[in-house]
Amino acid sequence: MRSQRRGPGPDAVRRSALHRDPVALAAAAWTAFGMVLLLALAGHANSQVRVFWLFQPPLDVLLAYSSWRVFQIAGGAIRRYWRLQAIGASLFVVGDTVQCVLAFTRHGQWSTAGGDVQSTCFAAGLGLIIVAMLIHPLPGRTGREALAFWLDSATVMVGGVVVAWCFAAGSASQDSAGSLVGALAAGAVVLTSAFAAVKLILSGNAPMHRVAAVPMIVAAVVNAVGLFVAPPGATDHLPAHVYLVRLLPSLLIALGPRNQEMLARFDETAFGSRRRRPYSLLPYGSIVVVFVTMLMMMPQGIDTRLWGVVGGFGIIVALVVARQLAAFHDNTRLIDQLDTTLTELREHERRLRHQALHDELTGLANRAYFREETTTALTASRPGTVALLLVDLDGFKAVNDTHGHAAGDLLLAGVAEKLRQSVRSGDLVARLGGDEFAVLLRDCTVHDAEQTAKRILRALAEPVTVGETPLRANASIGIACAEERDDVRSLLHDADMAMYASKHQGKGTWKRYEAGMAPAAG
């Protein structure tokens, strides 16, 4: 037979589609071409700015179109996020297109900072995207889980503020308050974007798959770097590498929605919801970043930047300590819950075992449990120290026929209680079935077994009151004392022989098994 070759799985198909996406490849080629032109035009600031703005609108169009396509596929809160991102991206298209026209119609456009229209559209579009990330709902969590989430987010944000403060204070001239305020404002926008992204990462409920989120997060990082790569005080005639760093985020942020669109074509549920981890390493990463920043600032002397780093480090330590205290409290609560659960499970297990090994009507051991305990006693005890009493009620069928099965059940329960009271604490009473009972006597002699049989018969001589009717339960008892080679089967057989002999003798009596005893004739 010809073997059938299994085709590639859905994951392989999705990966292949992403790697061969002609639109993404075209966008990458477009950006690479723009970077080549920017390098070739080094020293021609006006031409570089024109090329920079010329290559922005097509990437913005890809961002807006892909975001809109994902919006049409998604549903619920995810659909709302992508709608806001599509509107924000459309504002980018408008602003960058207007700025491109201005760059080609005016001279002296040396800065990558846009004019009033571009700046307004960019701020409004970025604000919409940030709002979309901030209002995206968190999955259901307790109050303490929400507290831990916000502590983690605050720790990451403080780390970002410290780094932004160092760059802003270092980039802005000391005599220019406007430069410092501008740098801090730009840093605040980047940090707010970073916080919103961190919120989605920590929540476990991101509205996009990781293959879409990664390029967008990298774009935010590169965009943040782009704010500080220009030489201090430079506003025009920027080096070529500044243009390259500031152009790259436009490609990366467009690839994210494009990747999400491609995934959603194969699977409409291919978004970012996932099981939330009970911990996050981001706060500890923030500690490392701030500590390294402090080490870098210390050789430059004590100034406002160093004090800012030290203050930020102290705040981060306090937040992490608070996070750990909350975690310790949660762990203690979980341990208490686990102990309670284990106790309940053990109690449930005990009840199940009791039900499996005991008779439901009388509460006595059942046949299986009695055989198990008898086997253990015969194995662990010396020969001649284990005895078995087989108790069979006389005339029980007449009680059922005359008074009904309910009365018969009450009589059996009364007999069971009398048997319990007639034996020692270490002995075991069982109901083998119907009106047949058995008693396992441990560490006893023949005399002890005979005395126990007599006590049982005396107890049964007292009637059991069923309703208002006293009923007497006579019984015949067979006694078998274990010998060296006896097992459960042989011991029960011997006791059964003795019990029938006692019935033949006159009922209401006991008889001990003797070697050679034959079944009594009916």
Residues with a catalytic annotation lie at 435
Please report, as a single letter, which amino acid is at residue 277: R
- What are the strands of the beta sheet with 436-442, ordered from one edge? 428-433, 436-442, 386-393, 475-481, 510-512
- CA quadruple 144, 146, 151, 152: dihedral sign: positive
Can you list the pairs that 230-233 forms with residues at least 24 positions away whose Cβ atoms lie under 8 Å? 232/170, 232/171, 232/173, 233/173, 233/179
Q: Say which residue the tokens 């990458």 belong to.
A: 28
Cα pseudo-dihedral 187, 189, 190, 192, rounded to 10: 120
Question: Residue 271 in contact with residue 78, Cβ under 8 Å?
Answer: yes
Strand, coil or helix: what is 176?
Answer: coil
Nearest to 96 by CA among 215, 253, 241, 250: 250
- CA quadruple 305, 289, 211, 228: dihedral sign: positive
Q: How far is CA 29 from CA 12, 55, 200, 260, in A?
A: 25, 11, 31, 20
- CA quadruple 207, 209, 210, 214: dihedral sign: negative
Nearest to 234 by CA among 113, 117, 114: 113
Can you list the pairs that 173-178 forms with residues at least 24 positions away whose Cβ atoms lie under 8 Å? 173/232, 173/233
What is the C-alpha to C-alpha distance for residues 511 and 67, in angstroms, rounded to an integer?
94
| Tokens representing residue 189 in the block | 């926008």
Nearest to 123 by CA among 113, 135, 108, 109: 113
Classify strands 510-512 and 475-481 as parallel, antiparallel or unpaired: parallel
- The CB-side HSE value for 511 (13 A sphere, CA atoms) comes to 25
Q: What is the DSSP string of 172-234?
A: S-TT-HHHHHHHHHHHHHHHHHHHHHHHHHHHTEESS-HHHHHHHHHHHHHHHHHTT-SPTT-
What is the C-alpha to C-alpha distance for residues 386 and 480, in angstroms, rounded to an integer?
9
Residue 463 per-residue DSSP state: P
Q: Say which residue the tokens 């985020």 belong to.
A: 249
